[in-house]
Every structure is written in structure tokens, then in C-alpha cells.
Amino acid sequence: MPDSSTREAVPHQRHGLAESLERASLAVPFRLKVAAVWAVIFALLAVAFFRSGFDIAWMIDKTPAIVRGVWVTILFSVIAITAATFLALLGALGRISKNPIAYGISGFYTSFFRGTPLIVQLFLWYLALPQLAIGLLPEPYAAWFIWPAQVAGVVGIAFNYGAYMTEIFRSGIEAVPHGQTEAADALGMSYGQRMRRVILPQAMRIVIPPTGNEFIAMIKDTALIGLLGTTILWADPFRVAQLTGKADFRNLEALIVAALVYWGLTAIFSFFQRKLETRMSKGYVRTAVKAG
Amino acid sequence: MSSPVVRVSGLHKSFGDLEVLKGIDMEINSGEVVVVFGRSGSGKSTFLRCINFLEEPDQGGIEVAGISVDAGLPTRHRRKEIRRLRTHCGMVFQQFNLFPQMTVLDNVMEGPLRVKGESAAEVRDRAMQLLADVGMADKADQHPIRLSGGQQQRVAIARALAMRPDVMLFDEPTSALDPELIHEVLAVMKRLAETHSTTMVVVTHEMGFAREVANRLCFFHEGVILEQGTPEQMFNSPQRPETRKFLDAVI
């Protein structure tokens, strides 16, 4: 090979090993190398686990109980995202309102619920609200505000995420060009008609992708509800893992299973989220092409 | 030409310290085509937008088709009157402002269907007729994004007409269009004036259209109507030097 013979003549030849490694590396696809890195990470973790006396039989035995908790997670998330969407819609309409009462209430709402830790808010709903209710309300009514952990937890998550989503919805509504408002007004539409028929449908396509992100984040944060002390009937994977792991002093095994459950769940929803996002980004063009 | 359809009296409007309209009075008769022109910043667009309260006047009163609303605080009753007044005004915007999530036909049907609550079958027939009038019937099922600017503006005219307005307000309807698309919109407007004797107020720089179609030209200058008259009067013997200067510049 004439190419290599000329190469041998240059003094850089002593870097030959590094260079040939680099050349070999270039031939391997990037994705394959990344996969290799992941494999190494998992291998190291597995080695570390087993050297620490990882009890795989125990883990396999308890996995079904932990995984079953996924239905609690999904139920919490679906109820909370529905309520949060409703709160965010009201909040966003308040944030763009010229009415000082609506603007003031929504401003307080987003400031407080975005400005304090979620875990504190959960305990406020669970422990502080009953105290307030007992102090203020006569006997039968006070009991309405003493909630089981799962109710306080879902309400707390919904209010917290509703506050973040308020800002998403507000920016979505404000992204609709002002000419649309004028066109609706010029037709004599009322505020409600303008919002329902013109503004919100256009804001929706802007808002749906980031709302999907909030939903995925919410799935993980429902694990906090377990810290309020939910009963085994309402225990999510983290709560089950905590209870069973503590009982047998197998915390590592139990918590790893719980973590994998959440990881899998968010991976599934992220996949659909990405599909939705590509669909939405094609937007009007897609429907228009179909029509044409 | 009979009783006035639009009556504007003592209209004042400021944006901050800038007084844009300094007392405008105007009566527009049924079937009349009024072209409003003037330099940018003369208040011509603001005047047009005050007629259907897209801009809130500071002082003065507007009457359209017998519904009169004075400048004042927005009470519940007043908002209702403004909405009622708006249903008698058709508005065509510089940027078309069609609803992108709806088809062309739904754009045209939206007002009569949702605001006036008319029956769907009747509205559909009328909307299709209007789309045929503006030469857009074959695009009824498309979305606005697929149309050219001229086509969008013709749909916007049909949308405004679908409300059966007493007056059509045109806010620089051809200013956002490529030059080769302007004539198709002007042709539609001319047909409206000539064959349907639609009452129109048109803010435009298209002086050819003004000469051909308008009954009256109003020259706005620094917030007042400096001069008005028939096209012949205004083009052939403008009285004020400002008018003469502006017309020399645009023609």
C-alpha cells in the first residue's frame, strides 16, 4: 500500500497505536458506542449490587406486589391531571383578565403554589387544612375537610401542577395573534364565544405538548403521596417498596424495583408524548394537505 | 341614498398624550361608498376602528343602523349594545384575520350561526352563495393557510357579508397583498358597491379605486377631516394645499 509506506516515513508514527484506535473507533456507529456505555453502567451496577449481597430471590418474590401499585399511580395521575387542567384554564383566564378580582386570585394562586415546596403543600392539605376547618366550622361541616391521605395527596398535586400549567395556558392564549380577537369581536362575539370558538382551539395546539411534559413529571411526583402515609390499598409502587423493604431490611432490592416501575411508566408516556408532538407540529399543514 | 346608516359625532380619541382624533363628525348614507385617505398617523384607521368599537373612543357617539352608543365606561348593558352594533358592521382587516382552525365555509358560517343563532341549513346556503360571489366556492372545504392573500381577503369579505351588515368597514384591505393580487380584491369590492349597492367605508391608498367607485372622499390630516368631496372635486380641484400635496405624492 503506497499510502501506509509514505506514512511510515513521518515521525508521527510513534502515535500509531492511539491513531489506529481512533480510526477503529470512527468505524463504530455512535449509537453502538452509546449502547456500550449503557451496558457498562448496568454491568458495574450489577456487580456492585451482588457484591453487597443483593437478594434476587427476595426481589422476584416481591416484584408483583410492587408493580401492582402502578394502577394507583396511573389513577392518581389521571385524576390529578384532569383537575389540574381545569384549574389551569381558570387560572389562565384570570391571568389575562382585566378584572382585578380574577387577576388577583389567579396571581395569588400561581405565586403561592409555585413558590412553596410541593411536599409542604401536601402536608398542608392533609394536616393543616383539618385544623383550620375544625377551628372555623361547626361539627358536621368540619369533617368534610378531613381527608384521607390519597385524597389530600391528589388534591395537592392537582393544585400544584395547575399553578404551573396556568402559566403554560396563559402563554398559549397570548400566543394567539391579536387579530383573531379583533376578528371575533368584529363579528359581535361575546367573551365566552370568542374564547370557546376562536382563541382556545388555537391555544390548544400550542399548549398540548408542554402539558404532556407536565403529565410525565406528575406521574413521578405522585410518589410523594405515599409520604402522607397511605394505606396498603392506596399504596403506589414507592409506598409498597418502602413498607416491604423496611420490613425485611431489603431496601435496595425493593426501591430498585419501584424506581424501575416509574422509569418504565415515564418511558412509555414519553414515547407517546413525542409522537403527539410531531403530530401537533405538522399542525395545520397536515390537515390542509389532506384537504388539497 | 336615503337616511344615514352611520352617524359619527364629536369623536375624540387619544393614545396616551397623542391625540389621534380631534373631533370627527360624519354621516354615511345607505348605499354610499366613502373612501378615507391620508398620511399614516392621520387617524384614518383609528376612525374606522372606532365605528365598531375595536377602539374605544374617549368622547363622542356612534350610531349604526339606529343603535347608538356613546363613549363611556364599559358597563354590562353598554357591552351588550356594542355587540349588537357590531353585528350590523362587517369588518375587513388588513391582515385578513381568518380563523385558521376552521375551513373557509366554517369561517363564513361562524358569525350568523353562533352570534345570530340562525339555522345551519339556511346559513350554509347563504355562505355558499357569498363564496360563489367572491369566486371562492371551490375552496369552501380548504383551510385558510392554503389560500393566497388575495383569496383569503375575498373569503374575509364573504365572512363579513354573511352577517348581512348595514355597513362594510374596510381597513386597508389591500395593503398586505402582493401587487398582482390587489386587483382581485378591489374587483370584488367594486362589484359590491355597484351591483349590491353595499354601504362601505374604505380606508385605502388605492386612489384608482377611489376615483372609480367612491361617492365621497375624506382626507384625514392630523386627526381632523381636512377636506371632503366627490372624486371629481377632490382630484380636479382640491382646496387645501395639504390635500393637493398628498394627492400629488400618491398618484
Contact between A70 and A268 under an 8 Å Cβ cutoff? The reply is no
List CB contacts (< 8 A) between A185 and chain B. Answer: 54, 86
- Read off the amino acid at residue B92: V
Q: At B3, is the pLDDT very low, low, confident or very high (cuts 50, 70, 90)? A: confident
Pairing of strands B167-171, B200-203: parallel
For residue A263, pLDDT beyond 80: yes
Task: Give the tens place of pLDDT for each residue, A12-43.
Answer: 555 688 888 888 888 889 999 999 999 999 99
CB-nearest partner of A183 from B93, B114, B141: B93
When pLDDT is cut at 50, 70 and 90, the band that residue A286 belongs to is: very low
Residue A256 has pLDDT above 50, yes or no: yes
- The DSSP secondary-structure symbol of A116 reads S
Nine cell digits for residue A236: 403506589
What ipTM describes this predicted complex? 0.94
Rounded to the nearest 10°, the torsion over CA B45, B46, B50, B56 is: 150
- Give pLDDT tens digits for B25-44: 999 999 999 999 999 999 99
What proportion of chain A, given as a percentage, has pLDDT over 70?
91
Q: Is the pLDDT of residue A47 over 70?
A: yes
Output the CA torsion sign for B221, B225, B230, B233.
Answer: negative
Q: Quick check: A198 pLDDT over 50?
A: yes
Q: What was the pLDDT predicted at B118?
A: 96
Residue B145 Rama label (left phi>0; alpha psi -120 to 50; beta): alpha
Least confident of A8-22, A175-189, A210-224: A8-22
Q: Say if the Cβ atoms of B143 and A291 lie within 8 Å.
A: yes
pLDDT of B102 higher than 50: yes
Q: Which residues of A47-61 are buried (b: 16+ CB within 10 A; e: fewer)?
A: eebeeeeebeeebee
| Residues on chain B touching A291 (C-beta within 8 angstroms) | 103, 141-143, 146
pLDDT in tens, B135-185: 999 999 999 999 999 999 999 999 999 999 999 999 999 999 999 999 999
Q: Between these two residues, B77 and A107, which has the higher pLDDT value?
A: A107
Chain B residues in contact with A183 (beta carbon < 8 A)? 91, 93, 97-99
The residues that bridge with B225 in the sheet, in sequence order, are B220
Q: Is the pLDDT of residue B112 over 80?
A: yes
Report d(CA B217, CA B233) in Å as an integer. Answer: 9
Q: Report how many Cβ contacts below 8 Å link chain A to chain B.
A: 70
pLDDT-based confidence at residue B250 (cuts at 50, 70, 90): confident
Q: What are the tens digits of pLDDT across the range A55-78?
A: 999 999 999 999 999 999 999 999
| Rounded CA separation A226/A234 (Å) | 9
Q: What DSSP character marks residue B58? A: S
A contact test, residue of B46, B75, B86, B99 with most A CBs within 10 A: B99
Question: So what's the pLDDT on residue A291?
Answer: 36
Band of pLDDT at residue B1, cut at 50, 70 and 90: very low
CA distance A274 to chain B (A): 22
Element (H, E) at B191: helix B179-195
Chain A interface test: which of B75, B143, B145 (most A C-beta within 10 Å): B143
Cβ pair B168, B160 in contact under 8 A: yes
Using alpha carbons, list the distances in angstroms from residue A48 to A41, A51, A252, B24, B229. Answer: 11, 5, 12, 85, 94
Determine the residue of chain A that is closest to B160 in CA distance: A187
Helix ranges restricted to H, chain A: 2-9, 16-27, 30-51, 56-68, 70-95, 100-115, 118-123, 129-136, 139-142, 149-174, 178-186, 191-193, 200-221, 237-248, 251-291
Mean predicted confidence (pLDDT) in A104-127: 97
Instruction: Indicate yes or no: CB of B101 within 8 angstroms of CB of A284.
Output: yes
Confidence of residue B2 (pLDDT cuts 50, 70, 90): low
Give residue B75's pLDDT: 80
Listed residue (A206, A154, A149, A158) closest to A180, CA to CA:
A206
